[in-house]
Structure 1
Amino acid sequence: MKTFGEGKDLNYVIEVDSLPEIKLGSLENFKVTNYMVTADAKIVDEKLKEIANQHKNFIDKKDSEKAEIGDQITFDYSAKVNENKFKGSEGKGVQIELGKDLFLKDFDKQLIGKKKNDIALTESHLPPNHPDKELANKKAKFECKILSVKKPGQTKIDDNLAKNLGAKSLIDLKKLIENQISSQYKQALDSITKKEILDQLEKSHSIDLPKNLVDHELSAMTQSLKKDEIEKNKIKNEKLAKSRIKLGLILNEFGEKNNLKVGQDEINNEIQKQIRGMPGQEKMVLEYYKKNPHAAQSLKGALYEEKIINLLKSKITMKTKNLSTNEAEKIINDLNKPKESLATKAKSKKISKK
């Protein structure tokens, strides 16, 4: 504000930081690897056995045979807290596998040695997250009528198992498992490919970054850190903040130049994909995005970035590298290993000369 007042013209100066002009460089000399993974037959077979063990075929024990760890027990129960019934204190046809402790803590071991038609009296504490807070962690007495005791039979790995799991045949199930394993490794390797692209984008573009953007990014990155931590990693964090801003500007320019957009349908599809991966928690996921608009906005940003990366991949000559799962594992592990600092390397060399 320069001058103001009665009878005077308002004279002021406004300073505005504008985004720098981005001149997109050529992608012609980019060297990027596209990793393809073939799951080893041994790993597929191990996964198949693991799945078979999770879908045990239980067969009835004789009425005189006692229940053991690993057996499946079906029972009705009636429970009381301080000799009083409560909501949910009765259950019919409850089925548990002894040893997994999925019903209540320390409940399973009290049914070991029981037989079909036995009445078992047990005591267990109700869970701390019980819907009725008055009952949380309270000791309850259970009267259980044992309806059946079954032991695990051998699960045959055949077409019937495959069909029970939704596959057309055992060959089809193996193919589905192979694709799933390959996809998991590919996802991790794609992050390496993405890093290769981003590193070369950053090196091949020179941009005069607005200070306020860098400061804002730096503030967001360090807001949860203590003052001494901020000071200790000041140079490292400033470099990272500048890198993020620079890459964000470059990627956004690619997106705008190619008219890339993310529609609401795409956001909804991604949310549905997350819901399918969390069975039984559909309502929770939907409520989360409904109550947190910033979460949906963050999801939109991730989808937008993915579109831009896919566009860049389509314009870059990529070298395909076929890997076994063991080779893929090694590449991923090597990438995740903590890198030695220059000081540590220098110290190691000095020691080795002595």
Structure 2
Amino acid sequence: MQITETTNQGLKRGYKLTIPAADIDGRITAELKKIAPTVRMPGFRPGKVPANLLRKMHGEQLHAQAVQETIREAVDGLIKDKALRPAMQPRVALGEGYAEGRDAELSVDLEVLPQVTAPSTEGLTIERLVVPVTDAEVDEALARIAGQNKSYTDAKKGRKAAAGDQLIIDFVGRTGGVEFEGGKAEGAALVLGSGTFIPGFEEQLTGVRAGDRKTIAVTFPADYPAKELAGKNAEFDVTVQAVKVEGEGQVDDDFAKNLGLESLEQLRGLVRGQLEQETNGLTRTQMKRALLDQLAAGHDFDVPEQMVEAEFEQIWTQLEQEAAKSEDPEAAKREIEAEREDYRRIAVRRVRLGLLLSEIGQANNIQVSSQEMQMLMQQAAQQYRPEDRERFLQFVQNEPMAAAQLRAPLYEDKVVDFLFDKAEITTREVTREELEAAIEADEDSGSQPEKAPGKKAKKNSAPEAAPAAAKKGGKKAAAKVEAESRPGDAAVQPENKKSRKKPAAPSA
């Protein structure tokens, strides 16, 4: 095989490979010898079919197979001979005009990983901001739980239903006088004013009494999930079985027992633990951001464009999904379009951080064990329907890239935890508001390397910061916070040497 280098610029490499026709033909001949003893043809004894007839029968298929295998081996050999470290799968093209009997000319283009020296783990300093959980916060959380687990008791006889009351109803829906699927129920609970049924349904039941029968006329929204009903007029015959009023929510032992617990004390302990877990997650976000900022500020090197493009596409897909869910999708889309280059710079940062963490992990022998990988696969498989889980597991086992993407977040966390252990950490007690402000703060320290010209760049915060960002900046802000500091999945890894049908009505 003849190798000619065509490109050597930065991280880009290009090669022209010439594979002699004799090499391909030799592979075909060897394969014909393998299959000859098994071929049966009328007029010939088993294993005695002439080679020219075998080639005529199977030559085209064997030639295609030989070319494919030769190309794969040639590219593997190129990578080994030139000691290349591909950033992503090389682009391989067979020269135009190739035909059997001719030399095969291949063009191989790829980007290689940059030579990155593992950063020193000495001298890292991180301030840990911690938020103590107070009794008042536990009380507030219990009040919210009580509000989400309201109890209702029968109203006084003859009471007219008002907003906040619960109705127990039977209903039958019709369009054009014909009942439709999903439009019938018995004993359905409906809280007036909850907005859980289609527009106009609940309002027409205000003032009803237990035992009343009423026919309600409504129009299904144009964007109703059941397309056969979208935009159509409908009538519902409703029978009110009962009118109930909200009971007084007492947070006591009985309330805890209704939730399946032994006592209020146990419930308070669980709530406190959840609040602590949440604030601990925010603290980790703040620490991780500070750590990544230190790494990013101290390293600036070229990164493969293909990896950047893959990261950017991942970020952009998330942004577009969030924009589509916003109140004004078109305005949200225009807003993110105006900041496209900012997000591309974020993609560069993510890839660079990923490569840095990968080098640190390899230099310190940090690994994801086979047992941990099996656990990751089983957890990921739970997102699929039971009948699809085994197929998903087989896919991950057979696709190295899929396994790498699954492994990357855990590998990243293990490297980050390793760096936390090496860092000098000081602790400061703050309020939750101060912690969230620290996570979302505008850049004051100058540690953000990819600052957009003319703009004050956001400090980078880790994925766990998204809930905090959502509170103040909305879904788009949450997406940007996550994008800015999350190292790229493709880089953060050791280098390898149910669908339920919604009821048709009357739910909104």
Name the TM-score, length of structure 2 as normaliser. 0.54
Residue pair 1:218, 1:237 contacting (<8 A) in 2 also: no
Computing the radius of gyration over CA atoms, which structure comes out larger, 1 or 2?
2
Pick one of 157, 169, 174 that aligns with 2:268. Answer: 174
Q: CA deviation at 1:330?
A: 4.0
Distance in 2 separating the partners of 1:11 and 1:84: 68
Please state if 1:309 is matched with 2:416.
yes
Indicate the RMSD between aligned Cα atoms, in angstroms.
4.3
* Structure 2 portions without partners, runs of 5+: 6-15, 22-102, 321-332, 457-508
Q: CA deviation at 1:36?
A: 2.9
Residue pair 1:162, 1:173 contacting (<8 A) in 2 also: yes
**Could you say which residue in structure 2 is the equivalent of 1:97?**
191
Deviation digits for residues 306-336 of structure 1 (CA, Å, limit 9, x no counterpart): 2221222223232233334344244335359
Deviation digits for residues 64-84 of structure 1 (CA, Å, limit 9, x no counterpart): 111111111001112211111
Q: CA deviation at 1:264?
A: 3.3
1:4-23 counterparts in 2 under 5 A?
18-23=112-117
Residue pair 1:120, 1:145 contacting (<8 A) in 2 also: yes
Structure 1 residues 182, 333: CA separation in 2 closer, same or farther (over 3 Å shift)? farther
Deviation digits for residues 190-233 of structure 1 (CA, Å, limit 9, x no counterpart): 22211222222344557x546xx1x334444667799xx99998
Distance in 2 separating the partners of 1:116 and 1:67: 9
**Could you say which residue in structure 2 is the equivalent of 1:254?**
360
Structure 1 residues 45, 271: CA separation in 2 closer, same or farther (over 3 Å shift)? farther
Mean Cα deviation higher: 89-98 or 135-144: 135-144
**Could you say which residue in structure 2 is the equivalent of 1:36?**
130
Pick one of 316, 325, 341 that aligns with 2:432. Answer: 325
Structure 1 residues 137, 239: CA separation in 2 closer, same or farther (over 3 Å shift)? closer
Q: CA deviation at 1:102?
A: 0.7
Structure 1 residues 168, 204: CA separation in 2 closer, same or farther (over 3 Å shift)? farther
Residue pair 2:111, 2:306 contacting (<8 A) in 1 also: no
Deviation digits for residues 98-139 of structure 1 (CA, Å, limit 9, x no counterpart): 111212222111111111111111122345566753333322
Distance in 2 separating the partners of 1:255 and 1:60: 63
**Could you say which residue in structure 1 is the equivalent of 2:255?**
161
**Could you say which residue in structure 1 is the equivalent of 2:149?**
55
Residue pair 2:308, 2:351 contacting (<8 A) in 1 also: no
Pick one of 203, 228, 241 that aligns with 1:147. Answer: 241
Distance in 1 separating the partners of 2:129 and 2:177: 64
1:1-354 counterparts in 2 under 5 A?
1=4, 18-126=112-220, 133-204=227-298, 209=302, 213=304, 215-220=305-310, 240=346, 243-257=349-363, 258-261=365-368, 263-269=373-379, 272=382, 283=385, 298-334=405-441
Distance in 2 separating the partners of 1:89 and 1:231: 45
Distance in 2 separating the partners of 1:44 and 1:99: 28
Which residue type is aligned with residue 376 of structure 2? E
Residue pair 1:129, 1:136 contacting (<8 A) in 2 also: yes
**Could you say which residue in structure 2 is the equivalent of 1:351?**
none
Q: Secondary structure at the match of 1:143?
A: strand
- Of structures 1 and 2, the one with the larger relative CO (CA 8 A, separation 6+) is 1
Which residue type is aligned with residue 269 of structure 1? Q
Name the TM-score, length of structure 1 as normaliser. 0.74
Residue pair 2:165, 2:245 contacting (<8 A) in 1 also: yes
Q: CA deviation at 1:42?
A: 2.2
Structure 1 residues 17, 325: CA separation in 2 closer, same or farther (over 3 Å shift)? closer
Number of equivalenced pairs: 325
Structure 1 residues 183, 167: CA separation in 2 closer, same or farther (over 3 Å shift)? same
Residue pair 1:64, 1:115 contacting (<8 A) in 2 also: yes
Q: CA deviation at 1:33?
A: 2.3
* Structure 1 portions without partners, runs of 5+: 276-281, 346-354
Residue pair 1:101, 1:107 contacting (<8 A) in 2 also: no
